[in-house]
Protein backbone atom coordinates (compact mmCIF):
# COMPACT_ATOMS: atom_id res chain seq x y z
CA UNK A 1 0.00 0.00 0.00
CA UNK A 2 2.74 2.46 0.95
CA UNK A 3 4.68 1.44 -2.13
CA UNK A 4 1.64 2.05 -4.25
CA UNK A 5 1.26 5.57 -2.97
CA UNK A 6 4.97 6.29 -3.28
CA UNK A 7 4.85 5.19 -6.90
CA UNK A 8 1.90 7.43 -7.62
CA UNK A 9 3.67 10.26 -5.87
CA UNK A 10 6.82 9.96 -7.94
CA UNK A 11 4.87 9.80 -11.18
CA UNK A 12 3.45 13.23 -10.45
CA UNK A 13 6.91 14.56 -9.66
CA UNK A 14 5.61 16.86 -6.95
CA UNK A 15 6.15 16.64 -3.24
CA UNK A 16 3.05 15.80 -1.34
CA UNK A 17 2.55 14.79 2.21
CA UNK A 18 1.33 11.35 3.10
CA UNK A 19 -0.66 11.12 6.28
CA UNK A 20 -1.81 8.05 8.12
CA UNK A 21 -5.34 8.40 9.42
CA UNK A 22 -5.74 5.63 11.91
CA UNK A 23 -5.77 2.64 12.37
CA UNK A 24 -6.69 3.93 15.81
CA UNK A 25 -7.86 7.43 15.11
CA UNK A 26 -10.95 8.75 16.89
CA UNK A 27 -12.61 9.58 13.60
CA UNK A 28 -12.10 6.22 11.91
CA UNK A 29 -14.90 4.51 13.88
CA UNK A 30 -12.95 1.39 14.68
CA UNK A 31 -9.65 0.17 13.35
CA UNK A 32 -9.49 1.44 9.78
CA UNK A 33 -6.50 3.08 8.19
CA UNK A 34 -6.63 5.81 5.58
CA UNK A 35 -3.51 6.66 3.64
CA UNK A 36 -4.01 10.26 2.73
CA UNK A 37 -2.06 12.20 0.10
CA UNK A 38 -2.41 15.87 0.76
CA UNK A 39 -1.39 19.04 -0.97
CA UNK A 40 -1.49 21.50 1.88
CA UNK A 41 -4.86 20.92 3.43
CA UNK A 42 -6.49 19.67 0.26
CA UNK A 43 -6.67 15.97 -0.44
CA UNK A 44 -5.18 14.47 -3.55
CA UNK A 45 -6.51 11.10 -2.59
CA UNK A 46 -7.49 9.05 0.43
CA UNK A 47 -6.97 5.30 0.14
CA UNK A 48 -8.86 3.23 2.69
CA UNK A 49 -6.94 0.27 4.07
CA UNK A 50 -9.27 -2.11 5.87
CA UNK A 51 -9.00 -5.60 7.27
CA UNK A 52 -7.58 -4.93 10.73
CA UNK A 53 -10.64 -6.58 12.26
CA UNK A 54 -11.04 -9.43 9.79
CA UNK A 55 -12.08 -12.55 11.70
CA UNK A 56 -13.05 -14.82 8.81
CA UNK A 57 -16.67 -15.05 9.91
CA UNK A 58 -17.63 -16.57 6.57
CA UNK A 59 -15.14 -19.40 7.04
CA UNK A 60 -16.45 -19.96 10.57
CA UNK A 61 -19.98 -20.25 9.18
CA UNK A 62 -18.86 -23.17 7.02
CA UNK A 63 -17.80 -25.13 10.08
CA UNK A 64 -20.41 -24.44 12.79
CA UNK A 65 -23.75 -25.21 11.15
CA UNK A 66 -26.88 -23.11 10.82
CA UNK A 67 -28.05 -22.56 14.43
CA UNK A 68 -24.45 -22.43 15.64
CA UNK A 69 -23.67 -19.42 13.46
CA UNK A 70 -26.36 -17.28 15.11
CA UNK A 71 -24.17 -15.95 17.98
CA UNK A 72 -21.40 -15.08 15.53
CA UNK A 73 -23.73 -12.83 13.55
CA UNK A 74 -23.90 -10.46 16.53
CA UNK A 75 -20.23 -9.72 16.01
CA UNK A 76 -20.68 -8.67 12.40
CA UNK A 77 -22.29 -5.39 13.41
CA UNK A 78 -21.98 -4.82 17.12
CA UNK A 79 -23.71 -1.44 17.08
CA UNK A 80 -26.87 -2.87 15.52
CA UNK A 81 -26.65 -6.60 16.18
CA UNK A 82 -30.41 -7.23 15.91
CA UNK A 83 -30.34 -6.83 12.15
CA UNK A 84 -27.42 -9.18 11.68
CA UNK A 85 -29.39 -11.79 13.66
CA UNK A 86 -32.52 -11.14 11.67
CA UNK A 87 -30.78 -11.39 8.29
CA UNK A 88 -29.34 -14.80 9.16
CA UNK A 89 -32.66 -16.04 10.55
CA UNK A 90 -34.50 -14.88 7.42
CA UNK A 91 -31.98 -16.60 5.15
CA UNK A 92 -32.20 -19.95 6.92
CA UNK A 93 -35.99 -19.74 7.17
CA UNK A 94 -36.15 -19.24 3.41
CA UNK A 95 -33.92 -22.27 2.88
CA UNK A 96 -36.03 -24.37 5.25
CA UNK A 97 -39.29 -22.89 3.91
CA UNK A 98 -40.49 -22.09 7.43
CA UNK A 99 -43.30 -19.64 8.10
CA UNK A 100 -42.54 -17.43 11.10
CA UNK A 101 -45.50 -16.86 13.49
CA UNK A 102 -47.08 -13.44 13.37
CA UNK A 103 -46.25 -12.61 16.96
CA UNK A 104 -42.58 -13.38 16.41
CA UNK A 105 -42.57 -11.09 13.38
CA UNK A 106 -43.95 -8.23 15.45
CA UNK A 107 -41.45 -8.92 18.22
CA UNK A 108 -38.73 -8.73 15.58
CA UNK A 109 -40.07 -5.42 14.33
CA UNK A 110 -40.12 -3.94 17.86
CA UNK A 111 -36.62 -5.14 18.74
CA UNK A 112 -35.13 -4.11 15.40
CA UNK A 113 -36.61 -0.63 15.40
CA UNK A 114 -35.42 0.01 18.96
CA UNK A 115 -32.03 -1.16 17.81
CA UNK A 116 -32.18 1.17 14.81
CA UNK A 117 -32.76 4.13 17.13
CA UNK A 118 -29.87 3.00 19.33
CA UNK A 119 -27.57 2.67 16.33
CA UNK A 120 -28.54 6.01 14.80
CA UNK A 121 -27.97 7.71 18.16
CA UNK A 122 -24.39 6.51 18.11
CA UNK A 123 -24.06 7.52 14.48
CA UNK A 124 -25.30 11.09 14.84
CA UNK A 125 -23.52 11.51 18.18
CA UNK A 126 -20.11 10.38 16.94
CA UNK A 127 -20.61 12.42 13.79
CA UNK A 128 -20.91 15.55 15.90
CA UNK A 129 -17.80 14.52 17.85
CA UNK A 130 -15.88 14.01 14.63
CA UNK A 131 -16.57 17.50 13.42
CA UNK A 132 -15.76 19.07 16.76
CA UNK A 133 -18.74 19.06 19.14
CA UNK A 134 -18.71 16.77 22.18
CA UNK A 135 -22.06 17.35 23.85
CA UNK A 136 -24.25 15.60 21.23
CA UNK A 137 -22.41 12.33 21.81
CA UNK A 138 -23.20 12.57 25.51
CA UNK A 139 -26.88 13.19 24.70
CA UNK A 140 -26.93 10.31 22.25
CA UNK A 141 -25.23 7.84 24.56
CA UNK A 142 -27.56 8.84 27.41
CA UNK A 143 -30.62 7.96 25.35
CA UNK A 144 -28.96 4.82 24.06
CA UNK A 145 -28.50 3.69 27.64
CA UNK A 146 -32.27 3.85 28.16
CA UNK A 147 -32.80 1.72 25.07
CA UNK A 148 -30.13 -0.71 26.19
CA UNK A 149 -31.96 -1.07 29.52
CA UNK A 150 -35.16 -1.92 27.65
CA UNK A 151 -33.44 -4.39 25.34
CA UNK A 152 -31.63 -5.95 28.29
CA UNK A 153 -35.01 -6.56 29.95
CA UNK A 154 -36.18 -8.17 26.72
CA UNK A 155 -33.26 -10.45 25.91
CA UNK A 156 -30.68 -10.18 28.67
CA UNK A 157 -27.89 -8.52 26.69
CA UNK A 158 -26.87 -4.95 25.98
CA UNK A 159 -24.59 -5.30 22.98
CA UNK A 160 -24.55 -8.72 21.35
CA UNK A 161 -28.26 -9.30 21.66
CA UNK A 162 -28.66 -12.71 20.03
CA UNK A 163 -32.44 -12.38 20.41
CA UNK A 164 -33.61 -13.85 17.13
CA UNK A 165 -33.78 -17.56 16.46
CA UNK A 166 -34.29 -19.55 13.30
CA UNK A 167 -38.08 -19.70 13.15
CA UNK A 168 -38.88 -16.95 15.64
CA UNK A 169 -37.46 -15.13 18.65
CA UNK A 170 -36.04 -16.33 21.94
CA UNK A 171 -38.32 -14.67 24.50
CA UNK A 172 -41.74 -13.09 24.69
CA UNK A 173 -42.31 -9.62 26.19
CA UNK A 174 -41.44 -9.34 29.88
CA UNK A 175 -44.24 -8.23 32.20
CA UNK A 176 -44.85 -4.49 32.19
CA UNK A 177 -42.39 -3.91 29.34
CA UNK A 178 -44.66 -2.14 26.82
CA UNK A 179 -45.56 0.52 29.38
CA UNK A 180 -41.88 1.24 30.00
CA UNK A 181 -41.19 1.51 26.28
CA UNK A 182 -44.05 3.97 25.88
CA UNK A 183 -42.67 6.15 28.67
CA UNK A 184 -39.35 6.19 26.90
CA UNK A 185 -40.88 6.97 23.50
CA UNK A 186 -42.90 9.90 24.89
CA UNK A 187 -39.67 11.31 26.25
CA UNK A 188 -37.77 10.51 23.06
CA UNK A 189 -40.23 12.26 20.71
CA UNK A 190 -39.78 15.45 22.71
CA UNK A 191 -36.04 14.97 22.70
CA UNK A 192 -35.90 14.79 18.92
CA UNK A 193 -37.46 18.25 18.67
CA UNK A 194 -34.90 19.46 21.14
CA UNK A 195 -32.13 17.71 19.19
CA UNK A 196 -33.11 19.60 16.03
CA UNK A 197 -33.11 22.96 17.80
CA UNK A 198 -29.90 22.32 19.69
CA UNK A 199 -27.77 20.40 17.21
CA UNK A 200 -29.12 19.71 13.73
CA UNK A 201 -29.77 23.29 12.73
CA UNK A 202 -26.99 24.80 14.76
CA UNK A 203 -25.26 27.23 12.44
CA UNK A 204 -21.76 25.85 12.90
CA UNK A 205 -23.00 22.32 12.48
CA UNK A 206 -24.80 23.13 9.24
CA UNK A 207 -21.79 24.97 7.85
CA UNK A 208 -19.53 22.02 8.51
CA UNK A 209 -21.83 19.57 6.73
CA UNK A 210 -24.00 21.31 4.13
CA UNK A 211 -22.64 20.98 0.61
CA UNK A 212 -19.76 18.78 1.76
CA UNK A 213 -18.86 15.49 0.03
CA UNK A 214 -21.85 15.36 -2.29
CA UNK A 215 -22.84 11.92 -3.60
CA UNK A 216 -25.39 12.06 -6.41
CA UNK A 217 -28.15 9.50 -6.67
CA UNK A 218 -26.51 8.06 -9.78
CA UNK A 219 -23.21 7.60 -7.93
CA UNK A 220 -24.92 6.12 -4.89
CA UNK A 221 -26.61 3.43 -7.01
CA UNK A 222 -23.48 2.80 -9.03
CA UNK A 223 -21.26 2.32 -5.98
CA UNK A 224 -23.82 0.12 -4.25
CA UNK A 225 -24.54 2.41 -1.32
CA UNK A 226 -27.54 1.31 0.73
CA UNK A 227 -29.77 2.52 3.52
CA UNK A 228 -29.52 6.09 4.82
CA UNK A 229 -26.50 6.74 2.57
CA UNK A 230 -28.57 5.88 -0.51
CA UNK A 231 -31.66 7.73 0.69
CA UNK A 232 -29.56 10.74 1.62
CA UNK A 233 -28.67 10.96 -2.08
CA UNK A 234 -32.34 11.21 -2.97
CA UNK A 235 -33.00 7.60 -4.01
CA UNK A 236 -36.34 6.62 -2.54
CA UNK A 237 -35.73 3.00 -1.63
CA UNK A 238 -36.28 1.10 1.58
CA UNK A 239 -36.37 -2.69 1.83
CA UNK A 240 -38.97 -2.50 4.59
CA UNK A 241 -41.41 -0.84 2.20
CA UNK A 242 -40.27 -1.90 -1.28
CA UNK A 243 -39.14 -5.48 -0.71
CA UNK A 244 -41.28 -6.17 2.34
CA UNK A 245 -40.54 -8.88 4.88
CA UNK A 246 -41.84 -9.77 8.33
CA UNK A 247 -44.50 -7.54 9.83
CA UNK A 248 -43.56 -4.41 7.88
CA UNK A 249 -46.34 -4.55 5.23
CA UNK A 250 -48.85 -4.06 8.06
CA UNK A 251 -47.09 -1.11 9.67
CA UNK A 252 -47.45 2.54 8.71
CA UNK A 253 -44.30 4.61 8.31
CA UNK A 254 -42.68 7.18 6.05
CA UNK A 255 -39.31 6.76 4.36
CA UNK A 256 -37.29 9.96 4.74
CA UNK A 257 -35.29 10.94 1.65
CA UNK A 258 -32.58 13.56 1.23
CA UNK A 259 -33.99 16.76 -0.21
CA UNK A 260 -31.09 19.12 0.24
CA UNK A 261 -32.37 20.13 3.69
CA UNK A 262 -29.67 22.78 4.05
CA UNK A 263 -27.22 22.31 1.19
CA UNK A 264 -27.57 20.13 -1.90
CA UNK A 265 -29.11 16.68 -2.25
CA UNK A 266 -26.66 13.99 -1.22
CA UNK A 267 -24.33 16.07 0.92
CA UNK A 268 -23.13 15.07 4.37
CA UNK A 269 -25.95 17.02 6.02
CA UNK A 270 -28.61 15.09 4.10
CA UNK A 271 -27.10 11.78 5.15
CA UNK A 272 -27.07 13.01 8.74
CA UNK A 273 -30.56 14.41 8.75
CA UNK A 274 -32.13 11.36 7.09
CA UNK A 275 -30.96 9.41 10.13
CA UNK A 276 -32.53 11.89 12.54
CA UNK A 277 -35.84 11.64 10.67
CA UNK A 278 -35.60 7.86 10.59
CA UNK A 279 -35.41 7.71 14.37
CA UNK A 280 -38.79 9.41 14.54
CA UNK A 281 -40.28 6.89 12.12
CA UNK A 282 -38.79 4.00 14.06
CA UNK A 283 -40.41 5.29 17.22
CA UNK A 284 -43.71 5.35 15.33
CA UNK A 285 -43.26 1.74 14.21
CA UNK A 286 -42.44 0.61 17.75
CA UNK A 287 -45.68 2.17 19.05
CA UNK A 288 -47.80 0.44 16.41
CA UNK A 289 -46.14 -2.94 16.82
CA UNK A 290 -46.45 -2.76 20.60
CA UNK A 291 -50.15 -1.96 20.29
CA UNK A 292 -50.58 -5.06 18.13
CA UNK A 293 -48.59 -7.22 20.54
CA UNK A 294 -50.72 -6.14 23.49
CA UNK A 295 -53.93 -7.09 21.72
CA UNK A 296 -52.86 -10.40 20.18
CA UNK A 297 -51.57 -13.65 21.57
CA UNK A 298 -49.71 -16.37 19.77
CA UNK A 299 -46.65 -18.51 19.37
CA UNK A 300 -43.19 -16.96 19.21
CA UNK A 301 -41.44 -19.93 17.57
CA UNK A 302 -42.27 -21.95 14.49
CA UNK A 303 -41.79 -25.71 14.45
CA UNK A 304 -38.14 -26.09 13.54
CA UNK A 305 -36.60 -29.52 13.13
CA UNK A 306 -34.04 -30.39 15.77
CA UNK A 307 -31.42 -30.94 13.08
CA UNK A 308 -31.38 -27.93 10.79
CA UNK A 309 -30.69 -29.56 7.45
CA UNK A 310 -32.10 -27.55 4.53
CA UNK A 311 -32.40 -29.02 1.07
CA UNK A 312 -29.74 -28.08 -1.47
CA UNK A 313 -30.24 -24.62 -2.92
CA UNK A 314 -29.19 -21.05 -2.46
CA UNK A 315 -30.73 -17.85 -1.22
CA UNK A 316 -29.93 -14.18 -0.69
CA UNK A 317 -31.75 -12.71 2.29
CA UNK A 318 -32.34 -9.01 2.51
CA UNK A 319 -33.20 -6.94 5.59
CA UNK A 320 -33.04 -3.19 6.12
CA UNK A 321 -30.37 -2.72 8.76
CA UNK A 322 -29.47 0.56 10.44
CA UNK A 323 -26.62 0.69 7.93
CA UNK A 324 -28.83 -0.19 5.00
CA UNK A 325 -29.51 -3.39 3.20
CA UNK A 326 -27.89 -6.34 4.89
CA UNK A 327 -27.99 -9.80 3.46
CA UNK A 328 -26.60 -13.28 3.59
CA UNK A 329 -25.93 -15.24 0.44
CA UNK A 330 -26.18 -18.84 1.62
CA UNK A 331 -25.42 -21.91 -0.45
CA UNK A 332 -26.72 -25.14 1.06
CA UNK A 333 -25.54 -28.53 -0.16
CA UNK A 334 -28.14 -30.43 1.82
CA UNK A 335 -25.97 -31.14 4.86
CA UNK A 336 -26.08 -29.64 8.35
CA UNK A 337 -23.42 -27.08 7.49
CA UNK A 338 -23.65 -24.34 4.88
CA UNK A 339 -21.38 -24.79 1.87
CA UNK A 340 -20.77 -21.07 1.52
CA UNK A 341 -21.95 -17.95 3.30
CA UNK A 342 -21.30 -14.47 2.02
CA UNK A 343 -22.30 -11.53 4.17
CA UNK A 344 -23.43 -8.53 2.17
CA UNK A 345 -23.01 -5.43 4.32
CA UNK A 346 -23.51 -1.74 3.70
CA UNK A 347 -20.27 -0.54 5.28
CA UNK A 348 -18.00 -2.58 2.99
CA UNK A 349 -19.24 -0.89 -0.17
CA UNK A 350 -19.54 2.50 1.50
CA UNK A 351 -15.75 2.34 1.90
CA UNK A 352 -15.43 1.75 -1.83
CA UNK A 353 -16.63 5.22 -2.72
CA UNK A 354 -14.21 7.13 -0.47
CA UNK A 355 -11.15 6.84 -2.73
CA UNK A 356 -13.03 8.23 -5.73
CA UNK A 357 -14.85 10.93 -3.80
CA UNK A 358 -11.86 12.23 -1.87
CA UNK A 359 -9.83 14.26 -4.41
CA UNK A 360 -10.36 17.93 -3.70
CA UNK A 361 -11.85 17.53 -0.23
CA UNK A 362 -10.30 19.26 2.77
CA UNK A 363 -8.71 17.00 5.39
CA UNK A 364 -11.38 18.01 7.89
CA UNK A 365 -14.11 17.24 5.37
CA UNK A 366 -12.78 13.73 4.91
CA UNK A 367 -13.65 13.20 8.55
CA UNK A 368 -17.15 14.51 7.89
CA UNK A 369 -17.46 12.16 4.91
CA UNK A 370 -16.39 9.07 6.85
CA UNK A 371 -18.68 9.99 9.73
CA UNK A 372 -21.64 10.65 7.44
CA UNK A 373 -21.29 7.22 5.80
CA UNK A 374 -21.75 5.64 9.26
CA UNK A 375 -19.35 2.75 8.71
CA UNK A 376 -18.60 0.29 11.49
CA UNK A 377 -15.27 -1.50 11.24
CA UNK A 378 -16.36 -5.09 11.97
CA UNK A 379 -19.09 -4.79 9.38
CA UNK A 380 -16.50 -3.86 6.76
CA UNK A 381 -14.10 -6.62 7.72
CA UNK A 382 -16.41 -9.37 8.97
Partner 1 sequence: MTTNEIHEKLKARFGDAVGPLSEPKIDPFAVVRADALPEIARFLRDEPSLALDFLENLSGVDYPKRNVIEVVYHLFSYGLKHGIVLKVEANREDPRVPSVEAIWKSANWMEREAYDLLGLVFEGHPDLRRVLLPDDWEGHPLRKDWQEHGGYHGISNVRENPLVELRRLDEIARAEELKRNPPPPPPPAAAAPAAPAAPSTPPAPQTPPAGT
Interacting residues with partner 1 (CB under 8 A): 1, 4, 50-51, 54, 56, 58-59, 94-95, 219, 221-224, 235, 237, 242-243, 311-316, 325, 327, 329, 331, 339-340, 342, 344, 348-349, 351-353, 356, 381-382
The CB-of-203 to partner 1 minimum distance in angstroms stands at 35
The CB-of-252 to partner 1 minimum distance in angstroms stands at 21
Q: Residue 282 region, left (φ>0) first, then alpha (ψ -120 to 50), else beta?
A: alpha
Q: Closer CB to partner 1, residue 44 or residue 94? A: 94
Q: Closer CB to partner 1, residue 51 or residue 68? A: 51
Q: Closer CB to partner 1, residue 152 or residue 218? A: 218
54 to each of 31, 66, 120, 158, how far by Cα in Å?
Answer: 10, 21, 24, 23
Q: Closer CB to partner 1, residue 54 or residue 187? A: 54
The CB-of-308 to partner 1 minimum distance in angstroms stands at 15
Q: Closer CB to partner 1, residue 221 or residue 280? A: 221
The CB-of-297 to partner 1 minimum distance in angstroms stands at 32
Count Cβ atoms within 10 A of the Cβ of residue 87 and give its class: 0-12 exposed, 13-18 middle, 19 or more buried.
buried
Q: Closer CB to partner 1, residue 110 or residue 235? A: 235
The CB-of-224 to partner 1 minimum distance in angstroms stands at 3
The CB-of-313 to partner 1 minimum distance in angstroms stands at 4
Burial 303-341 (b: 16+ CB within 10 A, else e): ebeeebebeeeebebbbbbbbbbbbbebebeeeebbeeb
Q: In which element (H, E) is residue 125 found? A: helix 102-130
The CB-of-353 to partner 1 minimum distance in angstroms stands at 8
C-alpha to C-alpha distance for 113 and 84, rounded to whole angstroms? 13
User: What is the three-state SS of 149-198?
Assistant: HHHHHHHCCCCCCCCEECCEECCCCCCCHHHHHHHHHHHHHHHHHHHHHH
Q: Closer CB to partner 1, residue 223 or residue 269? A: 223
Q: How big is the CA angle at 251 (ends 181 and 96), to the nearest 5 degrees?
A: 100
Amino acid sequence: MEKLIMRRMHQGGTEEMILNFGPQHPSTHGVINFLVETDGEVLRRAVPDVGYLHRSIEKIAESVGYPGFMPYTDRIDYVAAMFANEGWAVAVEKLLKIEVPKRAQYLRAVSCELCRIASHLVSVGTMATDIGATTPLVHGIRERESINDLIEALCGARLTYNYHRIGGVAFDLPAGWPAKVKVFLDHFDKLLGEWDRLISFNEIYVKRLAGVAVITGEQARNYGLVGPNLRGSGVDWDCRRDAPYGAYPELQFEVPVGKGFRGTVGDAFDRYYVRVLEMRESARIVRQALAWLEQNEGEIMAKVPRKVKPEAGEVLSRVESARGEMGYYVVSDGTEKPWRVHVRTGSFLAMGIIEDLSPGLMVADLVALIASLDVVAPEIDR
